[in-house]
Amino acid sequence: MIARSSMSPSSARRMRIGGLLRKESLQILRDPSSIAIAFVLPVVLLLIFGYGISLDARKVPTALVIESGSSQTASFAASFAQSPYFDLRPTATRQAAEAALISGDVSAVIVLRSDFSRRLYTPGGAPIQLIVNGSDANTARLMTGYVEGAWVAWLEQLSREEGVSLTPPIVVEPRIWFNAAVRSRDFLVPGLIAIIMTLIGALLTSLVIAREWERGTMEALLVTPVSTSELLLAKLVPYFVLGMGGMILSVVMAILLFDVPFRGSFLALTAASSLFLLTALGMGLLISTVSKNQFVAGQIAIIVTFLPAFILSGFIFDIQSMPTVVQWITHVIAARYFVTILQTSFLAGDLWAVIVPNALALALMAVFFLGITKRKTLKRLE
Amino acid sequence: MWQKIRALVVKELLAVWKDPRSRFVLIGPPIIQLLVFGYAATYDLVDVPIAFYVEDSGGDARDLVARFAGSPIFRPTANLERQSDIARVIDSREVSLVLHIGQNFSRDLAVSQPARVQLIVDGRNSNTALILTGYANTIVRDFNLEWLRQKGERLPPASLVVRSWFNPNLQSRWFIVPGIVALLSLVVTLVVTALSVARERELGTFDQLLVTPLSTAQILLGKSLAPLLIGLVEGTVIVAAAVLWFGVPFLGSLALLYVGLILFLLAVIGVGLTISSLVRTQQQAILGAFLFLVPAVILSGFATPIANMSPAVQPITLINPMRYFLVIVRGLFIQGMSAELVAQQLWPLALIAVVSLTIAGRLFRSRLS
């Protein structure tokens, strides 16, 4: 006590923060649950999501009905069989193929009618009928695109074989930038990191501060000479370190386990991740300060952070196609900005035109959440 | 005996309803999720920003651009002047794709076909990129046919006629919204069941329940019937919302849907009771429920098809009750699935229900004795 009176205010503050930091770190080390949330949860979630979520339709079971065979239908079947997208199942009749479509055994049916070969060179041309199961609209659209691609390839082959010119007037040359192989995992896994870190950041702090309120130790802390900012800082730093640990783990898994290319710089990624983690931890702090109860805090953390991050961040569903009102809402979802940064730095590289504005938005949100938390904590004192 | 069980069920329902937190779990998340999923979770693309970089002043180039600009899928945002602008607008995500028509376009079209146009697509979301490429191909295919017809040239010998069954306009909502029936019944029922015993343990009232004249089996029955009723009500509300609010057609048999729902809920209740018997506090129950929910939802085919998952993961989905119920709900909603096909999904559900309820019963007995 005597020593303290002779201390300068700044060194006293350093000591207070140092003491608080030690207390928080000890608490983390003694209760393994936060370490589990920071390191085990990301690994488990990334494994489940990374292997469970994919939009790449490969080897789609497809019934092929050839009502009367000829050399042309054979070349058609051979051309389609080469495509990696179809698992062709020759089916005798149209009825059988349609029954298989209804029962879900096949996702699409291709029918070459009995007059196919005869009508090939008539003015109207021969129809190739494609019936897709539209229940899953996305897969149905992808399938239609694949069939169209295979159809064009077959036409070219046919024109070579038969020695006639069938070149279409215009040909599209698609160049898919950043992901030439169009692997959905390459964009899903970076997005998943944002979703998982949203959940973990919020869960880490929301449960912890709520516990202090619940046990009454928060009041005890607030009557010490520690200021609110110092208290929040001491709460933030250890969980920030834990969260960054989880983040690094996720990035390493993405690169080594899921083979996602990383074209940006780790420096930019670290800076953006720090800002995002501050936002997520700030959200957790706010949730716990408002709810003051571990049960409610955990519930809110899952509902407010996880679900919106999954649906409204643009990680899987395209934001531009959402209704206008919903698009506005996405602007308050922190994960939205982080998903954009992650997808860009993994697939495209350090594109500052993307990274800087999104990082600024994250910084703004971090300041907002931490500021509100500080005010709410002060209010609780009165 | 039934009277005693009924008293327990009424008590359970009241306990859930009177507690503001549990009431929130019943009402809050379902409404939020229904709205969020119903409106935001869609793979359908509209108003996608597109830029044009046209170096050719011919009429055909103008016509092709007009076809892209007139499509409801695309929203023209810019006409680029320089090649280097392409990277700028794509990198910054200002546009999702750029149509580049080179200066030789008109000449190639007239003299040495094919004339080539480049489509530069932002591949950061590869699914969107694929769908957009598909749309662009369709527009160009239509342009080609029209052009050949006008010039009186020979049309391609075979044409593609595409029809989509069950969902002719390919609306993602018809796929996602019926799935929410399964998702929300799962979430609510699991949380309610997992919490019911944990709450009694925490409050110390479980011991009181044990000294009542009710047998363990009767207690378990009461603890299962209450969540079953809650899940049925929740499911009914969402089915109604799907049909009346979101306008998704329901073509199948309602009776079959309820048979499926009951078996699904029983399987979920078995899991919930198992969690309940293993944990001591409500918080552990919530975490336990969450740890089951995430893989159950992801590995069910709710958001992305099971067929797309890694081959190593696909067998795991076989023990997931949601997988079977999703097929039933979606099938009954938009495909009008036959009883025979529904039955193929019902028996695995029934099997999972029997197994999970048996495990829960065993665990309870062993923990009590």
Q: Find the residue in B nearest to A315 (Cα).
A: B125
Least confident range of A205-219, B86-100, B179-193: A205-219
Residues in chain A closer than 8 A to B37 (CB atoms): 311
The H or E element spanning position A109 is strand A108-112
Q: Does residue B179 sit in the same domain as residue B218?
A: yes
Residues in chain B closer than 8 A to A186 (CB atoms): 126
Average pLDDT taken over every residue of chain B:
89
Q: Does residue B202 sit in the same domain as residue B217?
A: yes
Number of domains in chain B: 2
Within-domain flag for B161: no
Q: Taking Cα atoms as reference points, which of A284, A98, A261 lies closest to residue A206?
A: A284
Average pLDDT taken over every residue of chain A:
85
DSSP letters for A134-177: -SSHHHHHHHHHHHHHHHHHHHHHHHHHHT-----SEEEEEEEE
For B119, the closest of A52, A173, A302 (CB atoms) is A173
* B158-165 vs B48-54, strand pairing mode: unpaired
Please give, one letter per residue, the 3-state secondary structure of chain B: CHHHHHHHHHHHHHHHHHCHHHHHHHHHHHHHHHHHHHHHCCCCCCCEEEEEEECCCCHHHHHHHHHHHHCCCEEEEEECCCCHHHHHHHHCCCCCEEEEECCCHHHHHHCCCCEEEEEEEECCCHHHHHHHHHHHHHHHHHHHHHHHHHHCCCCCCEEEEEEEECCCCCCCHHHHHHHHHHHHHHHHHHHHHHHHHHHHHHHCHHHHHHCCCCCHHHHHHHHHHHHHHHHHHHHHHHHHHHHHCCCCCCCCCHHHHHHHHHHHHHHHHHHHHHHHHHCCCHHHHHHHHHHHHHHHHHCCCCCCCHHHCCCCCHHHHHHCHHHHHHHHHHHHHHHCCCHHHHHHHHHHHHHHHHHHHHHHHHHHHHHHC
Residues in chain B closer than 8 A to A60 (CB atoms): 307
Per-residue pLDDT of B66-118, as tens digits, reads 999 999 999 999 999 999 999 999 988 899 999 999 999 999 988 877 899 99
> Which residue, chain included where needed, has tokens 């039955």?
B343
Give the minimum alpha-carbon distance from B222 to chain A in angstroms, rounded to a whole number. Answer: 25
Q: Does residue B98 sit in the same domain as residue B36?
A: no
In angstroms, the CA B98 to CA A214 distance is: 56
ω into B321 cis (within 30 of 0): no
pLDDT at A170 over 60: yes
* Residue A160 backbone phi and psi in degrees, to 5: -70, -45
Within-domain flag for B355: yes
CA angle (B125, A63, A317) in 5-degree steps:
20
Within-domain flag for B113: yes
- Grade residue B359 by pLDDT with cuts at 50, 70 and 90: very high
Q: Report helix angle A266-291 to A228-256, nearest 10.
A: 130
Judge contact between A284 and A291, C-beta under 8 A: no
- Average pLDDT estimate for A249-256: 94
Give the three-state DSSP class for A211. Answer: helix
Residues of chain B above pLDDT 90, percent: 46
A170/B161 touch (CB, cutoff 8 Å), yes or no: no
> Which residue, chain included where needed, has tokens 């979630």?
A45
* Residue A12 backbone phi and psi in degrees, to 5: -65, -40
Least confident range of A117-126, B180-189, B298-307: A117-126
Within-domain flag for B112: yes
Query: Which of these three, B151, B184, B200, is where a domain ends?
Result: B151
What is the per-residue pLDDT for A189? 93
Q: Which tokens in the block code for residue B35?
A: 């709205």
Q: Does residue B207 sit in the same domain as residue B302?
A: yes
Q: Which tokens in the block code for residue B49?
A: 């920003």
For B156, the closest of A116, A166, A348 (CB atoms) is A166
More confident: A200 or B231 = B231
In angstroms, the CA B208 to CA B200 distance is: 9
What is the per-residue pLDDT for A12? 83
Within-domain flag for B163: no
In angstroms, the CA A168 to CA A175 distance is: 19
What is the per-residue pLDDT for A380? 59
pLDDT at A1 over 50: no
Q: Which tokens in the block code for residue A127?
A: 């129809």
pLDDT at B330 over 60: yes
Residues in chain B, overall count: 369
Q: Does B47 touch chain A (CB under 8 A)?
A: yes
Q: Does B117 touch chain A (CB under 8 A)?
A: yes
Choose the mutation target among A33, A34, A40, A55 for the interface with B, i.e. most B CBs under 10 Å.
Answer: A55
Within-domain flag for B261: yes
Percentage helix, strand, coil for chain A under 3-state DSSP, each rounded to 5: 70, 10, 20
A175/B118 touch (CB, cutoff 8 Å), yes or no: yes
Residues of chain B above pLDDT 70, percent: 99
Q: Report helix angle B173-203 to B321-330, nearest 10.
A: 140
In angstroms, the CA B8 to CA A116 distance is: 69
Q: Does B212 touch chain A (CB under 8 A)?
A: no
Per-residue pLDDT of B156-165, as tens digits, reads 877 888 888 8
Q: Does residue B56 sit in the same domain as residue B35?
A: no
Choose the mutation target among B67, B127, B342 for the interface with A, i.e. most A CBs under 10 Å.
Answer: B127
For B137, the closest of A123, A145, A155 (CB atoms) is A145
Q: Does B126 touch chain A (CB under 8 A)?
A: yes
Q: Which tokens in the block code for residue B58?
A: 């011919």
Exposed e or buried b per residue across A327-355, where buried means at least 16 C-beta atoms within 10 angstroms of its C-beta: eebbeebbbbbbbbbbbbbbbbbebeebb
What is the per-residue pLDDT for A295? 67
Q: Does residue B217 sit in the same domain as residue B107?
A: no
What is the per-residue pLDDT for B274? 92
Interface of A with B in 162-191 (CB under 8 A): 166-180, 182-184, 186-187
Q: Find the residue in A nearest to B249 (Cα).
A: A135
Q: Chains A and B: how many Cβ contacts under 8 Å? A: 304
Choose the mutation target among A177, A187, A325 for the interface with B, i.e. most B CBs under 10 Å.
Answer: A177
In angstroms, the CA A191 to CA A186 distance is: 9
- Average pLDDT estimate for A158-174: 78
Give the minimum alpha-carbon distance from A153 to chain B in angstroms, rounded to a whole number. Answer: 12
- The CATH fold assigned to A60-162 is abc type-2 transporter like fold (3.40.1710)
A170/B166 touch (CB, cutoff 8 Å), yes or no: no
In angstroms, the CA A207 to CA A300 distance is: 10
Q: Which tokens in the block code for residue A140?
A: 């149905």
- Grade residue B315 by pLDDT with cuts at 50, 70 and 90: very high
Q: Does A145 touch chain B (CB under 8 A)?
A: yes
In angstroms, the CA B135 to CA B146 distance is: 17
Residues in chain B closer than 8 A to A53 (CB atoms): 298, 303-304, 309
Per-residue pLDDT of A58-90, as tens digits, reads 888 999 999 988 888 888 898 888 888 899 999
A187/B125 touch (CB, cutoff 8 Å), yes or no: yes
pLDDT at B55 over 60: yes
Residues in chain A closer than 8 A to B177 (CB atoms): none
What is the per-residue pLDDT for B110? 87
In angstroms, the CA B286 to CA A229 distance is: 31
Q: Does residue B79 sit in the same domain as residue B29?
A: no
CA angle (A118, A124, A130) in 5-degree steps:
80
B92/A169 touch (CB, cutoff 8 Å), yes or no: no
Long-range contacts for B290-296 (Cβ within 8 Å, ≥24 apart)? B290/A302, B292/B190, B293/B186, B293/B187, B293/B190, B294/A45, B294/A48, B295/A48, B295/A52, B295/B320, B296/B186, B296/B320, B296/B321, B296/B322
Residues in chain B closer than 8 A to A107 (CB atoms): 307
Per-residue pLDDT of A272-309, as tens digits, reads 999 999 999 888 888 888 776 776 777 677 777 777 88
Strand partners, A74: none
A302/B33 touch (CB, cutoff 8 Å), yes or no: no
More confident: B198 or B71 = B71
Give, in order, the Cα–Cα distances in Å from A335 to each of A177, A196, A222, A312, B297.
23, 10, 32, 8, 20
Q: Does residue B251 sit in the same domain as residue B351?
A: yes
Judge contact between A244 and A274, C-beta under 8 A: yes
- Grade residue B19 by pLDDT with cuts at 50, 70 and 90: confident
Strand partners, B122: A177
CATH code, B104: 3.40.1710.10
Q: Does residue B37 sit in the same domain as residue B65?
A: no
Within-domain flag for B300: yes
In angstroms, the CA A96 to CA B343 distance is: 20
Give the minimum alpha-carbon distance from B35 to chain A in angstroms, rounded to a whole number. Answer: 10
Q: Does residue B128 sit in the same domain as residue B204?
A: no
Residues in chain B closer than 8 A to A294 (CB atoms): 283
Q: Taking Cα atoms as reference points, which of B61, B275, B362 lies closest to residue A169?
A: B61
What is the per-residue pLDDT for B111? 84
Within-domain flag for B143: yes
In angstroms, the CA B208 to CA A331 distance is: 51
pLDDT at B324 over 80: yes
Question: What single-letter DSSP state applies at residue A58?
Answer: -
Domain around B204: 2-41+171-368
- Average pLDDT estimate for A328-336: 91
- Grade residue B251 by pLDDT with cuts at 50, 70 and 90: very high
More confident: B367 or B68 = B68
Q: Does B312 touch chain A (CB under 8 A)?
A: yes
Q: Which tokens in the block code for residue B238?
A: 């969402």
Please give the order of strands across the beta sheet that includes A170-177: A170-177, B115-122, B97-101, B48-54, B74-79
Per-residue pLDDT of A38-54, as tens digits, reads 888 889 889 988 888 88
List all residues 6 or more positions away from A375 whose beta carbon is below 8 Å from its beta carbon.
none
Alpha carbons within 13 A on the beta-carbon side of A60: 27
pLDDT at B50 over 50: yes
Greatest pairwise CA separation for chain B in angstroms: 95
Q: Which tokens in the block code for residue A251?
A: 């990035």
Judge contact between B267 and B300, C-beta under 8 A: no
In angstroms, the CA B23 to CA B18 distance is: 7
Choose the mutation target among A103, A157, A176 for the interface with B, i.e. most B CBs under 10 Å.
Answer: A176
In angstroms, the CA A244 to CA A42 distance is: 11
Long-range contacts for A211-216 (Cβ within 8 Å, ≥24 apart)? A211/A294, A213/A288, A213/A289, A213/A292, A213/A293, A214/A292, A214/A293, A214/A294
Handedness of CA B124, B126, B132, B134 (dihedral sign): positive
Q: Taking Cα atoms as reference points, which of B164, B161, B137, B169 lies closest to residue A111?
A: B161
- Each domain of chain A, given as residue ranges in start order, spans 16-53+183-381, 60-162
What is the per-residue pLDDT for B80? 93
Q: Does residue B131 sit in the same domain as residue B232?
A: no
| Cα B3 to chain centroid, rounded | 40
pLDDT at A4 over 60: no
What is the per-residue pLDDT for B25? 67
Q: Does residue B209 sit in the same domain as residue B250?
A: yes
